[in-house]
Chain A
Amino acid sequence: MEAFSGILTGLAHAAMPMNLLFCLIGVALGTAVGVLPGLGPTATISLLLPLTFRMEPAAAVIMLAGIYYGAMYGGSITSILIRVPGEAATVISCIDGHEMARQGQAGKALGMAAFASFIAGVLSVLGIALLGPLLARAAYRFGPVEIAALVMLGLVMVVMISSASSIKSLAMVALGLLLSTVGQDFVTGEARFAFGWTPLTDGLGIAVIAIGLFGVSEILVMASRRDDARDMVASPRRLRELLPDRADWARARWPILRGSGLGFFLGLLPGAGALVASFGSYVLEKKLSREPQRFGKGAIEGLAGPEAANNAGAQSAFIPLLSLGIPPNAVMGVVLGALMMQGVAPGPKLATDRPDIFWGVIASMLFGNLMLVVLNVPLVRVFVSLLRVPASLLAPGILLFCAVGAYSVNNSMADVIIAMVCGLLGWGLRRGGFDPVPLLIAFVLGGILEKAVRQALLIGYGSPMVFVQRPIALAMLVLAVALLLLPVLRRVIARRFPAPESPNPMR
């Protein structure tokens, strides 16, 4: 009852013309920011912080929230069209989403990404309204031990989504973890693998790595192809072909629902919850599918589920921020800063003291997701038309964009050099049969893992038994070991108990 009246209050506030306008600005800006390589929602929100001083607190947070989930969709556009993930969480869309684009189904991929995000957003808002504060208190119990176990589970799942063999994927995970240690150690301050070069002391940025590993390497792979194998398949002509059809919806509806649920719950968790949700969804759909061999070759379920998980996670990340005042990721940290500068202290009393902010922001997500669909679905034809540009012009343009995008992260030429080196690394790895997807995800998770493991060992006075003593962490580690050993167990069982031969029908 309280949630119902809260949502009505929120809808009334969110539907005010100024709040709607700022929601539209946030969503449009977020989509544009997500498309451009290098820029991300954290940087954009930081740049807009001074503007929020003159705004009402509710309007400010509504706009900043719109930028966040708008950027998730924008990042998916580049993941699908040119295989450059705009955000870490949209890496998964590079797998089946880009493959669909290569098969001439870019419109369907973009359309499904928009609709899946919308449905997940609506479900997430309902979830927040009904369960938000309760779940936030439960998520508060997630400490470094549990976070470390979650990340280890996530790394195991990464291996399962890769198109390469398990050993090769694990090797890429190891390389990603190694790259995540480049820079200053956060405890001792010691420079690791900097080789005396100051830019490396700050560590490697995720945007720069993603631009290099995916964008630059993809261009080099394209450059290596012969002329007749280079251009994308012709884009569809009719509007009907641009959007998902009934068969696509039949395939995607359950992945969207499952992804929404997974993303909603994991997005509550501090650290990499939303990221783990997107590829957790991919692994889940691959496991549940009757045709798992289609994944990695343009399966729409492999796009719809992770997109839903991604958007649901982006929105449920507001729960710990608004209910407890605890930002679960860097973007929420900046939003927290915006609220505190306005004199608003998020926490358990926010819903009662400032219902215009708490429920207004939650309800605005309904409008924001609708605006995303209304803005972007008609633009699908425009986005798809980019694929008609000949590869001889598209590839050089994308390479230039990648270089400038990398520069724009920190206004530093060092990032351009690092991105290009990562591009060469990615090209070499792909030629050697290695998949860079696990590398990037492990790179993102590596920093979180190291911090969490070191904190966990401090909590346990140096004893690794602390992971066994916490039930949630133990359960996740057991699951991780089971997933890792599953293929081996299957092979052992198949050898020991071979399937009986089917009787010869001729006899």
Chain B
Amino acid sequence: MSIQHPPQHPPQHPLQQTPGPQPARRAHLLSCVLLCLAGLVAAAMAWRMGLWVDGSPGAGLLPFVSGCLLAVLSLGSLGGAVSAPEAAPDRVRPRWYLAAIGVLCALPGVVGSTLAFALALFLMIHLGERRALRSSIGWSLGLALATVVLFRQVLGVPLPEPVMLHLVGY
């Protein structure tokens, strides 16, 4: 009778030993690294502002301390456990939401608030949420108009106008 030995695995790098599923672990490692870099950059910029000037705290003191803490603590978080996500995430829908965010940031001042809002909503409702075309158009226009009426007419918020109106002197 032959004795079966368990398969030998190569020793793992300590960072790979963080428990948790692969995508969550990658997100966790990326977050920690980016936060650490942000802390180091902030601390370096704060150093140049001056930590202590004429016997009193300078403009760079709190940013320097915060930046250093952020860098150190982010590195310290690297080995922490990562909780499993609820389920495999949907990868398509967020992209349309991100596109809508881009529209909301860039277009209101160009095409006007109503059109920009409607377009952003359409991207999310029809393309992201995969609702039927007619219903999506209806909901997009309705919500956009309702939002404009509420904020512009009722609350008096001067929402962005189309740039063409400014060019013709309106």
Give A contacts to B, CB under 8 Å: 36, 39, 165, 167-168, 170-171, 173-175, 177-178, 180-181, 185, 187-188, 190, 192-193, 216, 219-220, 223-227, 229, 392-393, 395-397, 399-401, 403-404, 407-408, 411, 413, 416-417, 420, 423-424, 428-429, 431-434, 446, 449-450, 453-454, 457-458, 461-462
A-side contacts of B27, CB under 8 Å = 428, 431-433
Chain A residues within an 8 Å CB radius of B66: 174-175, 177-178, 181, 446
CB neighbours of B67 from chain A (8 A) = 174, 178
CA A446 to CA B42, docked complex, whole Å:
16
Q: A171 and B104 in contact (CB under 8 A), knowing A396-B125, A413-B109, A450-B62?
A: no
- Residue B159 CB within 8 A of the other chain: yes
Known contacts A223-B93, A404-B159; A171/B147 CB under 8 A = no
Residues of A contacting B160 in the complex (Cβ-Cβ under 8 angstroms): 407, 413
Instruction: Return A203 CB to nearest CB of chain B, in Å.
Output: 13
- Tell me whether chain A's interface is mostly helix, strand or loop, or mixed: helix
Q: Give the docked Cα–Cα distance between A338 and B94 (Å).
A: 47
Q: Pick the residue among B45, B104, B109 that contacts A400 (CB under 8 A).
A: B104
In the complex, the 8 A-B pairs of residues with the closest C-beta atoms, listed nearest first: A432-B31, A392-B129, A171-B73, A396-B124, A174-B69, A185-B59, A174-B70, A178-B66
Say how far A427's CB is from chain B's closest CB, in angstroms. 8
Q: List 6 A-B contacts (CB under 8 A).
A: A165-B80, A174-B39, A180-B62, A181-B63, A396-B121, A420-B105
Interface residues of B (CB under 8 A from A): 24, 27-28, 30-32, 34-35, 38-39, 42, 45-46, 49, 53, 55-60, 62-63, 65-67, 69-70, 73-74, 76-77, 80-83, 86-91, 93-94, 97-98, 100-101, 104-105, 108-109, 117, 120-121, 124-125, 128-129, 131, 139, 143-144, 147, 151, 155, 157-160
The answer for the CA separation of A365 and B105 in the assembled complex, in Å, is: 42
Smallest Cβ-Cβ distance to A175: which chain B residue:
B70
Distance of B142 from chain A, by nearest CB (Å): 10
Tell me whether A395 and B83 are in contact in the complex, defined as CB-CB below 8 angstroms, given that A178-B70, A416-B105 are known contacts: no
Known: A400-B120, A403-B120. 5 other contacts (CB 8 A): A171-B70, A178-B38, A178-B66, A404-B159, A413-B105
A393: which of B35, B105, B125 is its contact (CB, 8 Å)? B125
